[in-house]
Amino acid sequence: MAEESFDVVIIGSGPGGYVGAIRAGQLGLATALIEKDPYQGGTCLHRGCIPTKALLENATRYRDLLRADEFGLEVGEVEVDWERIQRRKQGVVDELSRGVSGLLRKHGVEVIEGWGRIEGPRAVGVYDGRHGEKERELSAETVVIATGSVPREIGSAPFDGERILSSDHVLELDRIPESLVVIGAGAVGVEFASIYRDFGSAVTIVEALPRLLPVEDGEVAEELAKAFGKKGIDVRTDTRLESAEPTGEGVAITLSGEGAGEIEAEVVLVAIGREPVSEGIGLESVRVEIEDGYVQVDEWCETGEPGVYAIGDVNPTPWLAHVASMEGVMVVERIAGEEVHPVPYDETPNCTYCDPEVASVGLTERRARERGYQVRTGTFPFLASGRAKIGGHTDGFVKIVAEDTYDEVLGVHIVGYKATELIAEAGAVLRLGGTVEELIHTIHAHPTLAESVHEAAHAVYGEALHYG
C-alpha cells in the first residue's frame, strides 16, 4: 500500500476539524481531513448545535403565535405539525452540510471517509470502520486529533433509544411526548426542557447540584428557574436520579434528595454531559497523555508528542463549537509559521438557547471574588427596556461584574430574549480590556435591547437612567 504525504492530517470534521482544514487550505498546506461519517460537520452540525437550535426556533415561533392576540392579531387555532418541523430541521442541517463540503473542496482539502487511526508520530491509517480493513496509509508533518465527544451514559439509566434517550436520540423523536424527565440541567438539558415544554409536554428537570446551569452566575440561574416555573416546568435541584426503569408505557423514575419521590414519564432524556472520543484512534502509538479520557495538551493544543495536536471536545478545554474552531485555526496558523496567540479561554462566551436565553462571558461575581478582586456589579432588568416591552419579552436582565479599583469589566451575564446575540458586545469589551466608563461613553442606539448593556454599566455606579 503506497503511502500518501500531506502537510496536515486532521481526524474528525466537526467545527474544530473542518474549520482547521479550511484555514490550512487557505494557507497553502496540503491537507487531508478524515471523517468516519459520509458527511462533514460533526456533532455540532448534525446532532447538536444546529438541529437543536432549529427546533428551538420553531418553539419560539409557536409561542409567539399563541400570544398573537396581545399584538392585536387574530390567527385562529394554531396546530403543530411535528413531521414538518422535523423535516425543516433536517433541511437546515443538510443545506449547511453541503456548504461545508463545498468550502472544503474550494480550498483543496482532500476529504477521506473512514476511521482514522494514528500509527506513529507522523503516520495515520484510514480504515473501513472502527474494526474494518485498512484502506489507506497517510504521512504528515502534523496530525490534528479532532474526534469530538459523545453523550455520557450513567449506570442508573442506560440508553435504549426508545424510552431512555441521549441528546442524539431525542432529536429524532417522531412525536411530542406527553411527559419528559430531563436528567441534568446544563445547556443541553435546559434547551430540550424548554423545547418540549413549549410544545406541550409535561416536563420535569432534575439536577444534582443546587441550581440550573451550574456554570452560570447564581442570579442568572435563579432567574432562569423562576422563568421555567412560570412555564410550568417542574424544577428539582439538589436531586439525584436513583433509578429509571422502562415499563410498558414509559419509565418509572426514583429520585433522592431535595426533590425525592417516584414519578413516571413517557421518556427520559439523560443530559449529564459528554465524554471524549479518545479510544480506538491509536493514541497508544504516540507519546500522548490521557486523563479521564481527555487528551492533555499545552497552551498551543500540542500533546506530549511533537507534531501531534488535539482540539475540541477531545481535550479538556470548554466543550463549545466556537472554542474548537478557534483552536483549529490557531494550530494550523502556528504550523504554517503565522504569528499566533493562545486561545483566551477566560473570554469564551457561553450561550444557552432556552426560553429565556442565557449568555455570559468572563467571570461570574463569585469567581471574581474568589480570585481576589474587589467587585462592583450593576444590573438592569429587561422589564425597564422599551425595546423589550415592544417585543413582549421582558423576562431577565443584564448584569455586569467589574473590578472596583481600575474599573475593568470582568464579566457580563445576560438572561433574557436574544441574550446570545447581545453577548457579542461584551466579548469585544473583554478582549480589549474595556472599562465600565468606556461602556458608559459608548453610544447605544435607541430603542434596542443592547441599551440594557449600557444601562447595566450605569448601574455599576448606581446611576441607571431608566430604572431604580
Q: What angle do helix axes 218-231 and 187-198 make, rounded to 10 degrees?
A: 20
Residues 6+ apart with CB under 8 A from 110: 6, 31, 32, 33
Of 448, 454, 366, whose CA–CA distance to 411 is shortest? 366
Pairwise CA distance, residues 15 & 62, whole Å = 30
Distance (Å) of CA 446 to CA 178, 195, 233, 380 = 43, 31, 35, 16
CB 409 within 8 A of CB 429: yes
- What residues are annotated to the active site? 446
Pairwise CA distance, residues 167 & 53, whole Å = 13
Residues 6+ apart with CB under 8 A from 340: 300, 330, 333, 334
CB 36 within 8 A of CB 114: yes
Question: Strands 31-35, 3-11: parallel, antiparallel or unpaired by DSSP?
Answer: parallel
Pairwise CA distance, residues 406 & 285, whole Å = 50
CB 330 within 8 A of CB 344: no
Pairwise CA distance, residues 268 & 225, whole Å = 20
310 forms beta bridges with: 145
400 forms beta bridges with: 378, 412
Phi, psi angle pair for 115, to nearest 5°: -95, 120
